[in-house]
């Protein structure tokens, strides 16, 4: 999967896309779609929602290309838009009463994990533990530990101070440790 840190060619593609080169923009989509989808999927928990958020993000990127300034790393700029799209979709989902992981599901999954722990159940346990984090903590944790952004980049993306972000990540890690410790056995 291409990394969001491949700056040199990104910049070239952005300039060409900004000049109306549709193919250049499509190459940007090809390069970054999967990374954006991974973040959105972990944030929202459902593929359809994640795809919708990422699609919305790329449309916004296209519209905003004329405003893009070289001094900002494209990856950070893109993440900022993806994060905002995920937040928008999550709040819309809350308004219509959608809950990603219900308590009933968690109870059921704990029971099934106890009886047959395997790689699949570990993946599910990780997803469920992540879904139980407060949204702000989940977002900070993913940006730092999974997407490997620095706190400075995260601050620019989220508009939050570095200390607050460190606190969120720390609390997210503590909570995940607790939740994952409850998983009966892991191979």
Partner 1 sequence: MSDERLRRAIAELRRPVEASPDAVRRVKAVVRAERMRRRRRARRSPWLLPAAAAAVAVLAALVTITIGPERTPSLAGGTPPIAAPAPAPAVRGTPVIGGDRARGAVRAVAFAVAPGPDAERVSLVGDFNGWDPSATPMRRGADGRWTASVPLALGSYTYAFVVNDTTWIADPNAPRAPRSEFGSAGSVLVVDSLRF
24 is an interface residue for partner 1 by CB under 8 A: no
Nearer to partner 1, 29 or 110 (CB): 29
113 is an interface residue for partner 1 by CB under 8 A: no
Q: Which residues contact 136 (CB under 8 A, 6 or more apart)?
A: 168
Stretch that binds partner 1, among 75-83, 104-112, 119-127, 156-164 (CB under 8 A): 119-127
d(CA 162, CA 168): 10
Which of 11, 164, 167, 173 is the binder for partner 1 (CB under 8 A)?
173
Nearer to partner 1, 161 or 178 (CB): 178
130 is an interface residue for partner 1 by CB under 8 A: yes
Q: Site mask, partner 1, residues 34-53, x = CB under 8 A?
A: x--xx--xx----x---x--
68 is an interface residue for partner 1 by CB under 8 A: no
Q: Which residues contact 74 (CB under 8 A, 6 or more apart)?
A: 4, 7, 10, 11, 14, 68
No. of helices (H) and no. of strands (E), the chain: 9, 0
C-alpha closest to that of 105 among 167, 46, 156, 161: 46
8 Å CB contact between 161 and 155: yes
d(CA 184, CA 187): 10
111 is an interface residue for partner 1 by CB under 8 A: no
- The residues that touch partner 1, with contacts defined as CB under 8 A, are 1, 20, 22, 25-26, 29-30, 33-34, 37-38, 41-42, 47, 51, 54-55, 58-59, 62-63, 92, 96, 122-123, 126, 129-130, 142, 145-146, 173, 176-178, 180-181, 183, 186
């Amino acid at each position: 999967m291409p990394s969001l840190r491949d700056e040199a060619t990104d910049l070239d593609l952005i300039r060409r896309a900004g000049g109306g080169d549709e193919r250049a923009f499509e190459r940007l989509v090809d390069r970054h779609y999967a990374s954006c989808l991974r973040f959105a999927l972990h944030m929202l928990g459902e593929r359809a929602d994640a795809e919708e958020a990422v699609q919305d993000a790329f449309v916004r990127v296209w519209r905003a290309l004329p405003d893009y300034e070289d001094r900002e790393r494209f990856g950070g700029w893109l993440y900022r838009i993806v994060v905002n799209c995920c937040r928008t979709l999550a709040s819309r989902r809350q308004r219509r009463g959608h809950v990603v992981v219900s308590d009933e599901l968690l109870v059921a999954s704990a029971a099934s994990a106890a009886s047959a722990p395997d790689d699949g159940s570990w993946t599910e346990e990780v997803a469920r533990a992540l879904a139980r984090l407060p949204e702000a903590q989940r977002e900070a944790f993913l940006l730092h530990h999974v997407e490997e952004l620095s706190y400075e980049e995260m601050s620019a993306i989220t508009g939050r101070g570095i200390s607050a972000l460190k606190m969120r990540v720390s609390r997210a890690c503590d909570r995940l440790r607790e939740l994952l410790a409850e998983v009966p056995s892991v191979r």
